[in-house]
């Protein structure tokens, strides 16, 4: 498990230094890349604080409450896999697509004089980063982290179990985490660092990775034991079929 994450993390940093694809920009589309350069509303440092602080606080709080070391380990494995997997996928797509950012013109020509059909005169690092617009890394990482944390809380609270669906707080509390992810994602269009398509794609990517990695370690949110990792499910449950074979479980409830 540790080796898998180490390899993914290494690949993430390697791909980060790969030269992105340089696509030809037609004169009629130059306006898409002439938005002013501004400081990030959510800086990279702030992003990492959000990405790591929220899930760590939630997972540790749950651990202190239920005192289950096995669950702590499985949650950590799921979260770390999600972040590493999202990182490599996001970076591979970025360098493969090479879409210019909305402020690419001023990265290419800091003095505002020039044409995108000519070689850039700006700092190489700024130009290279300016070609990594799609998908939004801020969006994908925030939705991966907070999406996984929301799923984890949904499971622990049994939000979607039939006998608990009329308790609104079980839905609102975990879902509120996704509001933070939405805020981070939307900010990337407001500061002209990404196009709306980049943000949408990054958000969907992050949420998808979060769901896949959560389900790798935990059962469906409608499962009788949705608060338990697979390693702690009672005997008699056949995860391969997607059905819960237990006298205490409604046979009409299926895994999703």
Q: 44-86: per-residue pLDDT in tens? A: 999 999 999 999 999 999 999 999 999 999 999 999 999 999 9
* Secondary structure (3-state) at 151: helix
Nearest Cα to 194, choosing from 90, 107, 99, 83?
Answer: 99
Q: Does residue 246 fall inside a structural domain?
A: no
Q: Does residue 236 fall inside a structural domain?
A: no
- Per the annotation, the verdict on 195 as an active-site residue is no
Q: Does residue 167 fall inside a structural domain?
A: yes
Q: Does residue 240 fall inside a structural domain?
A: no
Structure tokens at 242: 């997607």
Q: Does residue 93 fall inside a structural domain?
A: yes
Active-site residue identified among 138, 193, 195, 223 = 138
- Per the annotation, the verdict on 194 as an active-site residue is yes
Range of the domain at 95: 2-19+32-218
Active-site residue identified among 193, 194, 195, 223 = 194
Q: Tell me the C-alpha distance between 136 and 165, whole Å.
A: 34
Q: Please, are residues 193 and 40 in contact by the beta-carbon 8 Å criterion?
A: yes
pLDDT digit string, tens, across residues 92-128: 999 999 999 999 999 988 887 777 878 888 889 999 9
Q: Does residue 227 fall inside a structural domain?
A: no
Residue range 228-244: mean pLDDT, rounded: 64
User: Which residues are paired to 238 by β-bridges?
Assistant: 243
Full-model pTM: 0.87
Q: Does residue 118 fall inside a structural domain?
A: yes
Q: How many domains does the chain have?
A: 1
Q: How confident is the model at residue 236 (pLDDT cuts 50, 70, 90)?
A: low
Structure tokens at 5: 């994450």
Residue range 14-27: mean pLDDT, rounded: 90
pLDDT digit string, tens, across residues 161-196: 877 667 888 899 999 999 999 999 999 999 999 999
Q: Does residue 212 fall inside a structural domain?
A: yes
């Amino acid at each position: 498990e540790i080796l898998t994450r180490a390899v993914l993390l290494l690949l993430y940093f390697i791909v980060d230094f790969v030269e992105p694809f340089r696509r030809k920009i037609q004169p009629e589309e130059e306006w898409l890349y002439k938005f002013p350069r501004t400081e990030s509303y959510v800086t990279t440092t702030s992003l990492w604080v959000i990405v790591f602080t929220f899930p760590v606080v939630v997972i540790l709080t749950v651990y202190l409450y239920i005192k289950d070391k096995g669950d702590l380990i499985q949650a950590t494995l799921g979260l770390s896999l999600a972040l590493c997997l999202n990182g490599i996928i996001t970076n591979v797509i970025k360098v493969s697509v090479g879409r210019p950012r909305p402020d690419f013109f001023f990265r290419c020509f800091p003095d505002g004089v020039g044409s995108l059909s000519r070689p850039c005169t700006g700092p190489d690092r700024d130009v290279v980063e300016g070609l990594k617009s799609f998908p939004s890394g801020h969006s994908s990482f925030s939705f991966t982290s907070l999406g996984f944390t929301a799923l984890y809380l949904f499971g622990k609270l049994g939000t979607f179990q039939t006998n608990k669906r009329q308790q609104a707080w079980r839905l609102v509390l975990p879902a509120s985490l996704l509001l933070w992810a939405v805020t981070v994602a939307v900010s990337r269009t407001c500061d002209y660092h990404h196009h709306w398509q980049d943000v949408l794609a990054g958000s969907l990517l992050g949420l998808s990775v979060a769901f896949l990695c959560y389900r790798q370690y935990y059962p469906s949110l409608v499962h009788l034991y949705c608060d338990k990792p697979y390693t702690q499910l009672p005997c008699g449950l056949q995860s391969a079929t997607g059905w819960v074979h237990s006298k205490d479980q409604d046979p009409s409830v299926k895994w999703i």
